[in-house]
Structure 1
């Protein structure tokens, strides 16, 4: 369900049944002359639209304003929007804290941008990971007071973790494409892989007639893109989301 369309009784049901709550997290970034600047975020939005048909799911309004960086092209006339990590972390903390106050405990931000370095982290995902951790600490102190971990009520903390009751799992950040896809699907920027995903998920975001106008090395493989390749990638992503969103 789209969060902005939910009525209070539906929100309470989602809380009671611990539905996963998904934030499509991304950027607006230059993706060659042939593809829309919202590609990274659109890939998340469109795959969540598909997985929503399979399971109870709350989909939050997408956040497009991450740290695109100007590594690919200068922004002038090309469209990349850059918001720094410090601002994003502050936003992320308040945002996740608000969701915890509402009652959600199964929150997932899904990102595609710059995730080839996801284990080490890049500015957008690191900012939201930090914001999520800070929000959880802040919420626990609000609910239980300072010293919450050290008091007797937390004596079973590690046993609870072993049983799966870990409050630091309430907010998680995931890459759309995991390492299990590397080598099985083209991972690139505006090349065959990403262009194929958009052809399969959001064809209005691609104009293959413009591929010849590209100058960047990173777009050289885009001419090989196809709906068939994209559909194969979509199935891999959906398999990943089915696992991640179980909670």
Structure 2
């Protein structure tokens, strides 16, 4: 289900049943000469589109602008960089509205700079915003000292479950480290990411333009293939199906 298409009673029902609410965490960034600048966000949207076919989830509107950084290119090539502090506060406001509104099963799914599922500025901002919201929510609704009260004597028994408040918001990569290994690799605008995008949005990858790339990270984009892309989509789906519950 797409959140923007849902009516109030449908949203309330999803909240009550703790259906996963999934937020695509994206960026607008230069992806060489052959792939669109929305690649990082679009691949998440595309995989979730496929996941929707087999799993009940609520797909929230993507956050298109993100902490892209100017590591790959400057703004002159289309990269739009949001300062990490501003981004963290923006995401904090979104997550706060959702948590206080009764959504207690949120997944922030990122693809940008998620090699080996490592923590980078954007994913760190997501983690920080999420934890800040939860700490404030629990203190405001349960009072100071909530964790130390006897009401939470079973805290460790529920650790990681739906009853664990620190599991209300989870930050995960589109491709886990395990999925990346199964795919055979991970890159930026190279054969792996380009193939993933090509399988999901073939009209947003121009195979002829791959031959014009001169930057090191995009040289092997000439090896972009639908077969590899579909394999990567399947790897992502298998992992997400296990993680998103």
Give the TM-score category using the shorter length.
Answer: over 0.9
Offset, 1:6: 1.0
Q: Corresponding residue for 2:120?
A: 122
- Runs of 4+ in structure 1 displaced over 6 angstroms? none
Taking structure 1 as the reference length, what is the TM-score of the superposition? 0.94
Residues in 2 aligned to 1:164 and 1:12: alpha-carbon distance in whole angstroms? 17
Q: Corresponding residue for 2:177?
A: 179
Offset, 1:172: 0.3
Which residues of 2 match residues 23-62 of structure 1 at below 5 A? 23-62=23-62
Corresponding residue SS for 1:182: helix
Structure 1 residues 163, 237: CA separation in 2 closer, same or farther (over 3 Å shift)? closer
Residues in 2 aligned to 1:117 and 1:239: alpha-carbon distance in whole angstroms? 17
Q: Corresponding residue for 2:142?
A: 144
Q: Corresponding residue for 1:108?
A: 107
Residues in 2 aligned to 1:198 and 1:159: alpha-carbon distance in whole angstroms? 41
Gaps in structure 2 of 5+ consecutive residues: none
- 1:187-229 per-residue CA deviation (whole Å, 9 max, x = no partner) reads 1111110111111001121111111221210111111111111
Residues in 1 aligned to 2:193 and 2:160: alpha-carbon distance in whole angstroms? 39
Query: After the TM superposition, which of the residue ranges 203-212 and 79-88 deviates more from structure 2?
Result: 203-212
Gaps in structure 1 of 5+ consecutive residues: none
Residues in 1 aligned to 2:10 and 2:81: alpha-carbon distance in whole angstroms? 35
- 1:40-74 per-residue CA deviation (whole Å, 9 max, x = no partner) reads 11110000011011121100000011111111112
Are 2:163 and 1:165 equivalent residues in the alignment?
yes
Q: Corresponding residue for 1:227?
A: 226
* Aligned residue-pair number: 244
Q: Corresponding residue for 1:6?
A: 6
Residues in 2 aligned to 1:97 and 1:73: alpha-carbon distance in whole angstroms? 33
Offset, 1:167: 0.8
Structure 1 residues 80, 130: CA separation in 2 closer, same or farther (over 3 Å shift)? same
When the two chains are superposed, the root-mean-square deviation of aligned CA atoms in Å is 1.4
Residues in 1 aligned to 2:224 and 2:160: alpha-carbon distance in whole angstroms? 45
Offset, 1:129: 0.6
Which residues of 2 match residues 85-104 of structure 1 at below 5 A? 85-104=84-103
Taking structure 2 as the reference length, what is the TM-score of the superposition? 0.95
Corresponding residue SS for 1:159: coil
Corresponding residue SS for 1:34: coil
- 1:78-109 per-residue CA deviation (whole Å, 9 max, x = no partner) reads 10000011111111222111111111111001
Structure 1 residues 233, 163: CA separation in 2 closer, same or farther (over 3 Å shift)? closer
Q: Is the 8 A contact 2:162 2:168 kept in 1?
A: no
Which residues of 2 match residues 233-244 of structure 1 at below 5 A? 233-244=232-243
